[in-house]
Amino acid sequence: MSFDAEAPDLRPAHVIVVANEKGGVGKSTLSIHLSVALMKAGYRVATIDLDTRQRSLTRFYENRASFARTAPWAVELPRHFALDHVRGAQAQDNESAEFAAFAEAIGEVEHAYEFVVIDTPASDTYLMRLAHSLADTLISPMNDSFIDMDVLSKVHHDRAHRGAVAQYAEIVLEARRKRRLVDNGLIDWVLVRNRIAALHSNNARQVDQALRKLAVELQFRVAEGLRDRVIFRELFPIGLTALDAIEEANCQLTPSQMTARREIATLVSDLRLPSRVEGANYLEARHVWFESLSSYYRELKS
Ligand SMILES: Nc1ncnc2c1ncn2[C@@H]1O[C@H](COP(=O)(O)OP(=O)(O)OP(=O)(O)O)[C@@H](O)[C@H]1O
Ligand SMILES: [Mg+2]
């Protein structure tokens, strides 16, 4: 697959979809930390929760809104949408209703916000596929495990042997094909390693090597994500993250909390998202992003 350098007519908002058909890999955790980080960087952020059953992102922002009511500091909140799964008798009618709700949410935010962060369910649903084809940046968290890799490419007993493209990678490749036809846009697919163990293991090294090989074939980038840290999960009930002013309550940040902040900052930087330049229109940042990523993918291919 190669990308045309001709810049498409980009929509104003940059859409980040966090997805992986594998469950429990950290989609909601990354959606939470990324959306908070972008708001703290001063961007206008909208969030959409497509996980109509678990609603983790929605629950987090409900907790955050409730904390914000009595908080001693200004707590950033996004424009949040929680979509519903439509369960009527006719599948086609359900999809039309889901499409209409999703299109309405996107239509409402695509001109007024700079980033839209979409959390998705682990199951292969109509809404989940629809979100993939809208992604500018697609983030797929995964753990250092060959089981997680197996949804991208069938892991062969001889790991030097290349396996067949697997179900989740097929969804992404199909979304890319559609996207090219619809608006000649590109989907920057970033595999983010999550819950990395503190100690380096032989397994982690092997997964990393296999992933980097697969990156060329399936055209994705690999980003060092977050380590497995309690701070990434313990503040959920109060709607806060390691990025918030928790030192106000704790008095002092622990070294682990400071490292957690650095990890999030490194991840955001590795995502190579469009960034606003003083005095320039945000859409220009989107075009710079497109040029830089399309040349990256051209080189990856050659
Ligand atoms: N970096 C991390 N450090 C510590 N705990 C983490 C980290 N990432 C995720 N977790 C924990 O792992 C579990 C799964 O994470 P999360 O709910 O974000 O995954 P998910 O991919 O959204 O799951 P699902 O597929 O069910 O929607 C949660 O208990 C979460 O708190
Ligand atoms: Mg989730």
CATH number of residue 92's parent domain: 3.40.50.300
Nearest CA to ligand 1 atom 23: 24
Among 18, 21, 28, 128, say which to mutate for ligand 1: greatest number of ligand atoms within 8 Å of CB.
28
**H runs (alpha helix) in the chain:** 27-40, 56-70, 91-109, 126-134, 146-149, 167-183, 202-218, 231-234, 247-250, 255-270, 282-301
The more confidently predicted of residues 161 and 186 is 186
User: What average pLDDT does range 113-119 have in this prediction?
Assistant: 97
Residue 191's φ and ψ, nearest 5 degrees, are -85, 120
Ligand nearest to the CA of 141: 1
Number of domains composing the chain: 1
Cα distances (angstroms) measured from residue 88 to each of 55, 91, 94, 97, 160: 21, 7, 6, 10, 47
Q: Residue 204 has what pLDDT?
A: 85
Token duo for residue 62:
């409900």
Please give the number of the atom of ligand 1 that sits closest to the Cα of 196.
Answer: 1
Percent of the residues in the chain that have a pLDDT greater than 90, as a whole number = 62
Do the domain assignments include residue 1? no
Q: Is the pLDDT score of 5 beyond 80?
A: no
Tell me: the pLDDT tens digits for 267-277?
Answer: 999 999 999 88
Cα distances (angstroms) measured from residue 112 to each of 24, 92, 105, 106, 183: 32, 31, 12, 10, 21
Instruction: Report the Cα–Cα distance between both ends of the chain, in Å, rounded.
Output: 10
Please give the number of the atom of ligand 1 that sits closest to the Cα of 233.
Answer: 31
Do the domain assignments include residue 119? yes
Do the domain assignments include residue 204? yes
Among 52, 59, 128, 233, say which to mutate for ligand 1: greatest number of ligand atoms within 8 Å of CB.
233
232 lines ligand 1 (CB under 6 A): yes
Tell me: the pLDDT tens digits for 247-292?
Answer: 766 667 788 889 999 999 999 999 999 998 888 889 999 999 999 9
Do the domain assignments include residue 3? no
DSSP 3-state of 196: strand
Distance 18 CA to ligand 1 centre (A): 12
Do the domain assignments include residue 4? no
Question: By residue range, what is the domain housing residue 174?
Answer: 14-301
